[in-house]
Amino acid sequence: MSRWLGVDLGERRIGIAVADVNGRATPLTTLRRARTPADDVAALQRIVATECVERLVVGLPLDLGGGEGEQARRTRAWADEIGRRLGLPVALRDERLTSHVAESRLGPMPRGRSGGPPTAAQRDRYRARVDREAAAIILQDELDAAAVVDASGAPHTDADPEGRR
């Protein structure tokens, strides 16, 4: 199995996950979002080179009805530019409820001293963990769909001929 990188793109952070050789997605890191996609490329290039990545899987923020709003259009444009600049194929994967599932997996946000509200640093660390975990969920969903394709020999029903979503 080739190495795939999962991406949970947010306005402030980018959650990153990587697939191991057994087809399991693992949270990797969280990057601070740059001002432009071109600026995001530098940080992603290091990860792509280190992890020998051959494909990107970017979460597409559809609305609950499955439609694409402004954020989905921005994500699609970002993914297209990143894929072009990195020279990698990009798959877009429905990311509805992935942050909620990630929060469920991680449990509640840590409390501050003496059980008080969390500090700003605690909130930031927790949100970064949620973003990494959401990226792993997005990536695992794509890996599982690809495994169905590999096992059956038939294309997955919601993929186009190029494997893009």
Give 153's pLDDT tier (boundaries 50, 70, 90).
low
Global pTM exceeds 0.75: yes
How many CA atoms lie less than 13 Å away from 21 in the CB half-sphere?
1
Burial-class residue 2 by CB neighbours within 10 Å (0-12, 13-18, 19+): exposed
Q: 38, 37, 16, 35: which is closest to 27 by C-alpha?
A: 16
- Amino acid 58 reads V
Give 149's pLDDT tier (boundaries 50, 70, 90).
low
What are the beta bridge partners of residue 90?
56
Q: 18, 19, 39: which is closest to 81 by C-alpha?
A: 39
Whole-angstrom CA distances from 103 to 54, 74, 92, 114, 156 are 29, 24, 22, 23, 29
Extended beta strands in the chain, E state: 3-9, 13-19, 25-32, 53-60, 90-94
Q: 26 phi and psi, to 5 degrees? A: -130, 130
- CATH number assigned to the domain covering 3-152: 3.30.420.140
Higher pLDDT, 37 or 157: 37
- Amino acid 59 reads G
Q: What is the pLDDT of residue 122?
A: 84
Cβ neighbors of 133 (< 8 A, separation 6 or more) are: 15, 17, 27, 102, 105, 106
Lowest mean pLDDT among 57-66, 79-88, 90-99: 90-99
Whether pLDDT at 64 is above 70 = yes
Work out the percent of the chain whose per-residue pLDDT is above 70: 88
Q: What is the pLDDT of residue 105?
A: 82
